[in-house]
Amino acid sequence: MKPLIGLTAYSPAERPGWLVPDLYIEAITKSGGIPFILPGASTDFANDWLNVLHGVVFIGGGDINPDLYGGAQTEHLYGLSPVRDTAELHLMKQIVQTDIPVLAICRGMQVLNVALGGTLHTHLPDVYGTKVLHRTEDGQSIHHDVMTVPDSRLYRMIGEVADIVSYHHQCVDKLGKGLRAVSHAADGVVEAIELEGKENLIAVQWHPEMNFADSQSQQSLFRHFIEDAKQYQQKK
């Protein structure tokens, strides 16, 4: 049996329900996993999910409420969801204490950082300027390079320099406990982090699912995650 991969979801304001964009589903299925959507309506099922899943993807989405990490409320915030924040932070705190593989994408990387006591810059242009655009001025995705340090697991997946798809306006400020920055943009923004003692955790600020179809480096990232999930599945 292929590994069962849980994906966190978001609830759009215009209609009820919990959704996962199809690009995530496609990347998981083409990499050899079976996707399973995790609704963020409650924390009640976290332990049950972790008993059956072989890996978890924390997908992108709206901003985390700054009150949860001592940040400032700004006019740039969007997509706030107290229910989703509570559910995902709870799940992340549980999962980092297990051997279950994790792929944290964009908001997902920020959830990891906040769950471990880190903080975020609530609007990165206010701190880093616009030397590197991390999304277009009208709020669309954009490409830029990231540079990854050689002594990291991520380096073995994507190499030193990789072209990525960026779609965010917030970024890591203070790192959470046990976390290390392993990749940066040219302006210094943290683009990937790793957690000491958890080799099978991959956390990136960009969106590898968006150029999965034509990027060998992003395909490699998903393949490594699914391979981690297969190894975990065999141990259960």
Known catalytic residues are: 106, 207, 209
User: Across-strand partners of 38?
Assistant: 8
Q: Mark out the alpha helices in the chain (DSSP H runs).
A: 22-30, 46-52, 82-95, 107-115, 125-128, 153-158, 216-235
Parallel/antiparallel/unpaired status of strands 34-38 and 55-58: unpaired
Find all residues with CB under 8 Å of 49, minimum gap 6, and list them: 6, 38, 56, 91
Contact 66/78 with Cβ under 8 angstroms?
no
Q: How many residues does the chain have?
A: 236
Per the DSSP assignment, residues forming a β-bridge with 143 are 165
- For residue 144, CA distances in Å to 27, 135, 147, 180, 220 come to 21, 10, 10, 22, 18
| β strands within the chain, DSSP E | 4-8, 34-38, 55-58, 102-105, 120-121, 142-148, 161-166, 171-172, 179-184, 190-195, 198-204
